[in-house]
Amino acid sequence: MNLAMHKQASLNPLLWKLDAIADLSDQDKQAILDLPMSVKVFEADSDIVRDGDRPSECCLVLSGFTCRYKILSDGKRQIMGFYIPGDIPDLQSLHLKVMDHSIGALATSSIALIPHESLHAVLERHPGLDAVMWRDTLIDAAMFRAWMIGIGRRSAYQRIAHLLCELQMRLKAVGLAGENGYDLPVTQNELGDALGLSTVHVNRVLQDLRGEGLIVLRGGTLHIPDWEALQVAGDFDPAYLHLKR
Amino acid sequence: MNLAMHKQASLNPLLWKLDAIADLSDQDKQAILDLPMSVKVFEADSDIVRDGDRPSECCLVLSGFTCRYKILSDGKRQIMGFYIPGDIPDLQSLHLKVMDHSIGALATSSIALIPHESLHAVLERHPGLDAVMWRDTLIDAAMFRAWMIGIGRRSAYQRIAHLLCELQMRLKAVGLAGENGYDLPVTQNELGDALGLSTVHVNRVLQDLRGEGLIVLRGGTLHIPDWEALQVAGDFDPAYLHLKR
DNA sequence: CGAAGAATTGAAAGCCATCAACCGCCGTGG
DNA sequence: CCACGGCGGTTGATGGCTTTCAATTCTTCG
């Protein structure tokens, strides 16, 4: 990647993200940079795409923090994933016309909207990109599976540790985490909805993790004093993220 | 679909399945029928693909009953999905080189093995098929999400009802379920591993479901006396399966 | 008929949810 | 400048769904 492209990459977290999961040719990268998109800012707690929608564009997270969630008939919410800059949480809408869940902003987020037709056209002309995008949705599915395993078979303590590990890896891949910590603009209530736990229990387990010296979490900033130990506590194996390094 | 093709379709459950989730051209169908494949029979409780493998072929279920699962470091097993004739549980291996979980046979199953290179070649020449296959993996991901919601936010009673509903819909789509029931060659232990429940609790909840008159389950055969009621009990909405009808 | 696996039952314990209250921070407005 | 209001975080008590352990019955099949 030459200097000019590097500069553009910093403007486009999508390239950072794709670079972390696959090898892209320069033509493919340029094609991405040439994609038409309109940028829109979403306030915290607002919906970007709603359950039942038939989107005609995909949303690329440029900054902020978003999540995939669904509201059940009894009002409970299950968050199924957190999406950070570089992610396209509704890439699937390219091939699944009706949304079966919602995408929402947890913090103020700027979102690039890319028309389906533009994406389809680019993917058709760049088979390599098509493969990478497919791969991205497959990694998304792998994260669902990891999440499922956590909810199904791990204790609350392990689950939270695992989630914090996953975010560390993913945020670092797009340059948004340091070696041992990151900003986590997520409430304990939202963590609970993500992990299938009550807010109260999340609070208590976080205190346990703090007590063990595994995390320092204050004011939306997470510090991980001992990365190895946290991985062990969360039974975390990053293989499922399918990152290149 | 003309008569000749219909006949071949009965030989290839994959066509039935794809027909249920997308519109295929006759050329696309023929391309699928022309795929080279070798058939292999797997005994119950044997692995078809293993965690850590780097498959060079995809496995298409022709008959039997298989599942996707992962063993945790403490020995617990989480089953992440059941796969039935017409499904290609490791289609993802086309773009994710290393398996992050295993595929196993729950009942004796005949599996068609299709070389990656053949699939890649066909998908390249048939963009429509490429889209359908991508769509298939996206529906797989949607099932993970539905599963996750169940484990995270639904009671054991709802979860089991929901799973039985899902299988009814999917089996019917490939002609393996009647209007109100199907063969379910799955032990209560396996149901538990799928739903994040203990065997004992699965047993008790099944008795509850029987007591409510929602299911009749004996000797691996499930009968659903009141389909509507079971859907309500499981809070089941088939939208996530993205079936055409 | 015997053995192995699957289903079932009972009792006890534990993790986590629920309910309810209180604290602390921070932005707003008088 | 300080009171107010709201949200997020924290704490305590209680209860229930589910697990675990253990033992028994039922099924299937060689």
pLDDT at B7 over 80: no
Angstrom distance (rounded) from CA B196 to CA B198: 7
The answer for residues whose C-beta is within 8 angstroms of residue A68's C-beta and 6 or more apart is A79, A80, A81, A83, A89, A101, A102, A103, B145
Residues A119 and A208 in one domain: no
How many domains does chain A divide into?
2
Residues A136 and A57 in one domain: yes
**pLDDT, position A11:** 66
Residues A236 and A120 in one domain: no
- For the beta sheet containing A181-183, the strands, ordered from the edge strand earlier in sequence to the opposite edge, are A181-183, A221-223, A216-218
CB contact A134 to B (< 8 Å): yes
Single-letter amino acid code for the residue at A31: A
pLDDT tens across A73-119, in order?
A: 989 999 999 999 999 999 999 999 999 999 999 999 999 999 999 99
In a domain, A64, yes or no: yes
Instruction: List CB-based contacts (under 7 A) with strand D.
Output: A 187-189, 199-200, 203-204, 206-207; B 155-157, 192, 196-201, 204-205, 219
pLDDT tens across B140-187, in order?
A: 999 999 999 999 999 999 999 999 999 999 999 999 999 999 999 999
Task: Among B121, B144, B167, identify where a domain stops.
Answer: B144
Nearest-CA distance B229 → chain A (Å): 16
pLDDT at B202 over 50: yes
Residues A10 and A77 in one domain: yes
Nearest-CA distance B128 → chain A (Å): 11
**pLDDT, position A3:** 47
Residues A23 and A97 in one domain: yes
Half-sphere exposure at residue B168, Cβ-oriented, CA atoms within 13 angstroms: 25
Collapsed DSSP state (helix, strand, coil) of residue B95 = coil
Residues B177 and B97 in one domain: no
Kindly state the average pLDDT of the residues B88-98.
Answer: 98
Task: Among B118, B144, B170, identify where a domain stops.
Answer: B144
In a domain, B66, yes or no: yes
Task: Among B125, B144, B163, identify where a domain stops.
Answer: B144
As a whole-number percent, the residues of chain A with pLDDT over 90 amount to 93
Mutation for testing the B interface, residue in A18, A94, A153 having most B CBs under 10 Å? A153
Domain that holds residue B161: 155-241
Residues A133 and A162 in one domain: no
CATH number at residue A190: 1.10.10.10
Angstrom distance (rounded) from CA A76 to CA A94: 28
Residues A170 and A212 in one domain: yes
pLDDT at A42 over 70: yes
The number of beta carbons lying within 10 Å of the beta carbon of residue B163 is 21
CB A136 within 8 A of CB B140: no
In a domain, B149, yes or no: no
A110, containing H or E segment: strand A109-115
**pLDDT, position B3:** 47
Quickly state the pLDDT bin for B10 (edges 50, 70, 90): low
* Average confidence score pLDDT of chain A: 94
Candidates A134, A144, A242; nearest CB to B134: A134
Q: Is B110 exposed, middle or buried (0-12, 13-18, 19+ CB in 10 A)?
A: middle
Collapsed DSSP state (helix, strand, coil) of residue B144 = helix
CATH number at residue A55: 2.60.120.10
As a whole-number percent, the residues of chain A with pLDDT over 70 amount to 96
Residues B89 and B7 in one domain: yes
Nearest chain B residue to A239, by CA: B100
Quickly state the pLDDT bin for A155 (edges 50, 70, 90): very high
Residues A161 and A129 in one domain: no
The H-assigned helical ranges of chain A are 3-11, 13-21, 26-33, 116-125, 127-153, 156-173, 188-195, 199-211, 227-233
**pLDDT, position A219:** 87
* Average confidence score pLDDT of chain B: 94
pLDDT at B242 over 50: yes
Residues A113 and A162 in one domain: no
